[in-house]
Amino acid sequence: MRLSDTFHSMRSTHDDWNEILTNPSYFSKNHRISWYGREEKHRSPVLVRRSYVADQIKKCQYTLKILNDDSIIQIYYEYERDDSTLIFAKLSYFNSGIADISELEESIDLSETSASVVELLPKFIENITSDVDDPLVPWIRIDYDPKASTSPLHHACHMHIGLFQHARIPLSRVPTPRQFIEFIITLCYPEDYRMKRLDSDGKPLDIKKICSFNDDTFEKIENVLYDIIPHFHIPTKK
């Protein structure tokens, strides 16, 4: 999948989900798809706390934000100079840890009369005095780095899930921006997915459209490991 196709996937997904995806910051330049102001050497911690996500938001370290709860998505792809060979990718989702606005409202100063997550989260973070006030939050990250592939424990393309410190779940191929974002929405925002993609019986409204998201994908990663260990299947056009 060429860089331009991947970027098209990024744009069309944002377009499709623009009722909940906000503050876009993506660009395609110098053989990369990244976000403006990306901190190159930054590594996210294993234990991600709410304050970390708030800090990432403050520094605009994201590709898109989720309107519902201020969670963030980071999307980064790096290509060879020919713009057709993918050499590195990092796709992340960090949940803000805010499930219920009233939780924040209770703990925030009276002066914060306009109750919305974006209003209250930074204030909440200001008031953190210990880890007890700063809960761990869910996160997911997919890494693709064929050079760093070492063993069944460290597959070229794998997924980390928050709190499972050494867990790397192999993926059969690198997801496109469309596949990653659709996956995050089904997983973390099922109600939004249901309203957009499913009918009242929970069946796809437009199965053809959903299938078409897998028309253009990255190549399957050829590796004998797929025959010996369980892994995540990333769909492609049949």
Partner 1 sequence: MIDFIITVSEYERDEPTKVVWTWINEKFPDTEGICFYKHPNLTAPPGIRPELTIITKNFQPIVLLCPPPMTLEDITSICDEEWIVEGNPRDSPFKQAEDFAVALNYKFEKDRTLRDLVKKGQYTPVYAVAFPFISKIDFIHKFPNVVTDQIVIWADEDISHLVRPLSSPLSENEWNHILSITQGISPLTNGSGVIPKETPTLGEAIRYLDRYIALLDKQQEKAALQIAPGPQRIRGLAGTGKTVILAMKAAFIHHRYPDKKILFTFNTQSLYNQIHKLITLFYKANSESDPDWNFLHVRHAWGGQNKAGVYFDTCSQLGIEPFRLPTAKFLNKNDPFRACCQHVLNANLTNPILPQYDYILMDEAQDFPAEFYRVLYLLSEEPHQIYWAYDDLQSLFAVEVPTPEELFGKDELGKPLVTLDGEPYGGSIEKDIILYRSYRCPHEVLMLAHALGLGLYADRCVQMLTNKGSWEALGYIVEEGELEKGNKIVIRRPEEYSPNPITSLYKGKQDVIQVEIFDDHESELNWIAESIYFDINTENVLPEHIIVICLDAVKMRRYLLPLQKKLMDFEILSSIPGVTDSSSAFGEPGRVTLSTVFRAKGNESYVVYIFSFEMVYDYVEALQNRNRAFTAISRSKAWVRISGVGPGMKKAKEEIEKIRYDKPRFKFIFPDPETIRNLSAETDVRRREYKKVRDSFKKIFESVKNVEIIDALRDKDPELIKQMERLISEANKREVK
Nearest to 182 by CA among 151, 215, 213, 141: 213
Terminal C-alpha separation, the chain = 16
Q: Which is nearer to partner 1, 14 or 160 (CB)?
A: 14
- Give the total of residues touching partner 1 (CB under 8 A): 31
Q: Which is nearer to partner 1, 23 or 214 (CB)?
A: 23
Does the footprint of partner 1 cover residue 23 (CB under 8 A)?
A: yes
Category of 97 on φ-ψ map: left (φ > 0), alpha (ψ -120 to 50) or beta: left
| Ranges within 114-133 binding partner 1 (CB under 8 A) | 114-116, 118-119, 122, 126-127
Query: Would you give the DSSP letter of residue 127?
Result: T
- The one-letter code for the residue type at 99 is A
Contact pattern for partner 1 over residues 71 through 110, marking x by CB under 8 A: ----------------------------------xx-xxx
CB of 122 to partner 1, least distance (A): 6
Residue span binding partner 1 (CB under 8 A) among the ranges 9-17, 93-101, 134-142, 223-231: 9-17
Q: Which is nearer to partner 1, 14 or 155 (CB)?
A: 14
| Ranges within 28-47 binding partner 1 (CB under 8 A) | 36
